[in-house]
Structure 1
């Protein structure tokens, strides 16, 4: 009996820590498109994808994990038009409880006008049942400037208008917002190690109230270990000055994994 109680205590602790970890990882509400872009120069088609399925059952207590990610980029023959798509789905479930249940889709069109100046338009749909804002849909357009470019370093500034529709399931509220999105992004490659680092900061205020804003900071590193596989590390920091059910939202997370490239 003592051993059984001891084991049950460990199960409760493990499940509690798992829930705590997943709640904090799933709390961000911005997605950094910069870290998904593919610096492929003259390559017209590129694709990155991974799929994960895991099922664990210990004495009737089970955890199911499903995750899939797809990023693809297609360029026109003159390399001046880029069609870009991101899609992912994540599910982590134990018994009848979801620790994460989310999807994200983003389609973007990029038109190169000069070596420095580009125009962009995009549509996005995302949903996460565990976040304060459970659903977010937006459409937007803006400019993208390459203000620094050499063999190993590239830096960009972007500014866009976004119209977004957000839903909060807990309070049954919907928000219709006109929001500005600005970012600065730096990509640095290292010749000897082939290490690639991308750092980005986003700032997204409402046009009518700059105090209602979101900030996302991200650093991503990729180190190739073969032609198709890279080790990757990602750090995110998210802050929102406005939340319908609390004063503000903030989170940070660090993750490691593998990236597959075609």
Structure 2
């Protein structure tokens, strides 16, 4: 997953089960091509770890991502991010959240972005196989553009709507721990500046994960990122379609 489009969709990385206390997931893919001496090298890695307290009210989430593409001695993609989030259950419907994040993209007008946020999350629908959430937060962010030699300190609102569903592939399994589910996730974010709502970011993520074994899955993902106003005074967008494999424990 490359670009900032993936970065703001942290909601899609959550582990939705209320009973699992610790989860580790890593998605790694790489490729190398050599055509008549023209070389292309690509690597991407996504790491997510979630820990819940014994009473299941506190959740600690740590995420990391790196994506790199190089061809003909030139970079075509170079991005990374780190994200840490704390979540506290107030009631069955409401949760308090706070988070910090750092991210980098070599090719966007805004190359570096660091932020701190605090807000709340509401559970709209919670069924056995379907969940729907709405979240809203205040964010303080520091953005830096190396191309334009500018930086900015912003106060931004962040709202999201997140949907996830799972379809059991073997619902009749005697051991329910061995039930394999096809996962569908979709999250959309809207993040305007408080002082100027015409300056906003929209981010969309859609992912399908199909299990191949108990610990190995195949993933298809589409991401989209749109910035209505960059330091160049223009609009900017990035879209990405990716296919890969995931290892889960």
TM-score of the two chains, using structure 2 as the length reference: 0.89
Match of 2:19 in 1: 42
- Decide whether the 8 Å contact of 1:40 with 1:46 is kept in 2: no
Computing the radius of gyration from Cα coordinates, the structure with the larger value is: 1
Match of 1:70 in 2: 47
Q: Secondary structure at the match of 1:210?
A: coil
- Decide whether the 8 Å contact of 2:6 with 2:223 is kept in 1: no
Q: Aligned Cα RMSD in Å?
A: 2.0
- The 5 Å alignment of 1:117-156 reads 117-156=94-133
For the structure 1 residues 59 and 223, does the alpha-carbon distance in structure 2 shift closer, same or farther, using more than 3 Å as the test?
Answer: closer
Which of 58, 62, 69 aligns to 1:92? It is: 69
Provide structure 2 residue ranges, at least 5 long, that are not aligned to the other structure. Answer: 171-180
Work out which structure has the larger RCO, using CA pairs closer than 8 Å and 6 or more positions apart in sequence.
2
Higher helix share: 1
Which of 146, 153, 156 aligns to 1:176? It is: 153
After the TM superposition, which of the residue ranges 156-165 and 240-249 deviates more from structure 2? 240-249
How far residue 235 of structure 1 moved from its aligned partner, in angstroms, is 1.6
- Decide whether the 8 Å contact of 1:30 with 1:238 is kept in 2: no
Higher strand share: 2
After the TM superposition, which of the residue ranges 229-238 and 157-166 deviates more from structure 2? 229-238
How far residue 171 of structure 1 moved from its aligned partner, in angstroms, is 0.7
How far residue 40 of structure 1 moved from its aligned partner, in angstroms, is 2.7
For the residues of structure 2 that align with 1:154 and 1:130, how far apart are their CA atoms? 35
Q: 1:7-36: CA deviations, max 9, x gaps?
A: xxxxxxxxxxxxxxx9xx647475311221
For the residues of structure 2 that align with 1:32 and 1:227, how far apart are their CA atoms? 26
- Residue 231 in 1 paired to residue 208 in 2? no
- Residue 166 in 1 paired to residue 146 in 2? no
How far residue 109 of structure 1 moved from its aligned partner, in angstroms, is 0.4
Match of 2:186 in 1: 199
Q: Secondary structure at the match of 2:66?
A: strand
How far residue 233 of structure 1 moved from its aligned partner, in angstroms, is 1.4
How far residue 58 of structure 1 moved from its aligned partner, in angstroms, is 4.6
Which of 200, 208, 216 aligns to 2:195? It is: 208
Match of 2:134 in 1: 157
Q: 1:41-90: CA deviations, max 9, x gaps?
A: 21111011133444444554333333222100011111111100111122
- The 5 Å alignment of 1:24-63 reads 26=3, 28=5, 30-63=7-40
Runs of 4+ in 1 over 6 A off after TM superposition: none
Match of 1:245 in 2: 232
Q: 1:127-185: CA deviations, max 9, x gaps?
A: 11111110000011100111211111111010000000111111100011000000111
Q: Secondary structure at the match of 1:35?
A: helix
- Decide whether the 8 Å contact of 2:82 with 2:102 is kept in 1: yes
Q: 1:72-126: CA deviations, max 9, x gaps?
A: 0011111111100111122222343111122110000000111111001100000
Which of 218, 225, 229 aligns to 2:205? It is: 218
